[in-house]
Amino acid sequence: MLNTVQFLLQKVAAANRAYDEIDKNTGAGFNVFRISGIGSREVNICRVLRELLDPEGSHGRGALYLDLFNKIVLRMNIPYGDLCRANVVTEYIIAQDRRIDLYIQAGDYFIPIEVKIYAKDQKNQCRDYYPYARNSNLYYLTRYGSSPTEFSTNAEKACDEEAKNLTRIEEGYVEITNISFSEHILAWLTACLKQEETICVAPVRETLLQLMTVIRGFTNQLEDKRGMEIQQIITSSSENMRAAVDTARVINKCKYDMIVKLFEALEKELAPILTPRKISKDYIEQASTFYDQKNSTFPGISWIGNCEEKCFRIEINYRLYAGFYALRDGTLKGDEQLAKSYNMPDSDSYWCYLPRANENDSPNFKEPNTVFFNLFDEVFFNDFIHECVERIRLIFMLS
C-alpha cells in the first residue's frame, strides 16, 4: 500500500507541476485580486460584485449580469424592465450607521444582501437588516451557504423599531435565504462568462476568470481542468482510490502537526528575546479541532508581561499574525492604543501578518497556499521562523 500511495502522490505532483508550468507560461498565475490582497475581503469583493450587477456598470453589458444573477442566485421573478433601471449600492446606510453590504432596488423589489467571507456575525445584524427587504428575503452570502447565528438574528433588541422577529425553521430562518460563493456565485459567474457579449470583451472576460480563481481559492476548489485530471488519476484504479482515501485520513493530522511544530519553534527562538512573567499556550488544544470546522479556533501563544492586563500574542486565524492585546475578564481583546505605544509597524492596527507584515507572504492554514506548502520543506521552514523572529524584533524595536 505504501508504494501505491507514493505512486499516487507522484502522479498528482506531476500533474500539479504541469499545470503550474502552464500557468507560468500563459500568465494565468497573475491575478490582480490575489496580488492586491483584496480577494477575500468583504468590502472589496462587494465593490466588484456591485460593479458587475449595476446596469450602468463599466462593463458596458447593461442588465445582462444582473438578469443572470436574478435567475441563478436570487431566483426571483423580477421583470427585466425593472432590472434595467435597477440601483445597486454597497454599504447601504441604515439606522445607527449600520451598513448593508449589497442593496439592490429594482422596481418594487428591495433586496438586502449580507456578505460574510471570514468576518463574524455582529449583534442584531440580520435582524436589523431584514426590515429593509421588500418583496424579498434577506440574502445571506457566505463561502459555503451557512446560516447566520442567533447572535445576529435573535438578539433581544434590534436597532430599528420596525424590525421583525425572525422565525427559525430547522437550520435556517424563513425570512433569510442562504447563498454561497462556492455554488451560487461561481455558477452565476460561469454563466456570465459563457455569454457572447462577455467572450468578445477581453478585459471583462479576464476579470471574471480572475475573480472565479480567487473564489475557488477561498472555497477550497481546484480549477476545473486541474481538478478533473487529478480526479482521473485517483479513479483510474481501485488501488489508487484506496490510497487516496487512506491519504485523506491523515491529511488533517499532518496539518495539525505543522501548527504545533511552528509554535514550538517560535517559542524556542523567541525565548532569548521575550522575558514575560508567564506564557499562555493554547495552540495544542485549539489546533486539535482547527480542521474539524469551517471557522478558526485561533490556536496561539501569549507572552504576558508584569502588567496583568496586557500581553503579546502570536495566533493563527486563517493566516499567521502577531500583535499586542489587552487581557480583560480573562479574554484577549485587541488594544490599538497599546499596540501604538509599542511602535507596531502598522500604526493603524494592533497586529500584523508574519513574517513580512504582508497577507500574501503569510501561510494560509485553512486554505493552503504556496507559503503553507513550503513550510514542509525543512530549509524553508527554518528560514521562515528566522524571518518571523526578525519581524518580532522589529515590532519590539530590538536590534
Q: Is pLDDT above 70 for 39?
A: no
pLDDT value at 17 more than 80: no
pLDDT value at 131 more than 70: yes
Sole residue written with cell 499574525: 321
SS3 321: strand
Determine if the pTM surpasses 0.75: no
Least confident of 55-59, 139-143, 275-279: 275-279
Q: Choose the weakest-confidence range: 135-149, 155-169, 225-239.
A: 155-169
Q: Sorting pLDDT into bands at 50, 70 and 90, what band is 40?
A: low
Angle at the Cα of 269 from the Cα atoms of 329 and 384, rounded to 5 degrees:
100
Give yes or no for a contact between 83 and 203, defined as CB atoms under 8 angstroms apart. Answer: no
What pLDDT does 349 receive? 46
CA distance 131 to 126: 9
Cβ atoms of 325 and 333 closer than 8 Å: yes
* Residue located via cell numbers 475573480: 211
Three cell numbers at 373?
A: 506548502
- pLDDT of 63 strictly over 70: yes
Highest mean pLDDT among 82-86, 202-206, 326-330, 345-349 belongs to 82-86
The interaxial angle of helices 378-395 and 238-270, nearest 10 deg, is 40
Per DSSP, what are the bridge partners of residue 177?
Answer: 139
Nearest to 64 by CA among 185, 184, 197, 179: 197
Helix count and strand count (H, E) for the chain: 16, 13
Asked if residues 140 and 116 have their Cβ atoms less than 8 Å apart, the reply is: yes
Q: What share of the chain is helix, strand, coil (3-state, %, to 5)?
A: 45, 20, 35
Q: What beta strand segments (E) does 116-170 contain?
A: 138-142, 168-169
Name the grid cell of 67: 438578469
Question: 196 versus 36: which is more confidently predicted?
Answer: 196
> Which has the higher per-residue pLDDT, 330 or 29?
29
Predicted confidence (pLDDT) at residue 21 exceeds the cutoff of 70: no
User: What confidence tier does 237 reach under pLDDT thresholds 50, 70, 90?
Assistant: confident
- Number of Cβ within 10 Å of residue 127's Cβ equals 28
Report residue 335's pLDDT band, with 50, 70 and 90 as the boundaries: very low
Q: What nine digits make up the cell of 133?
A: 427587504
The DSSP bridge partners found for residue 129 are none
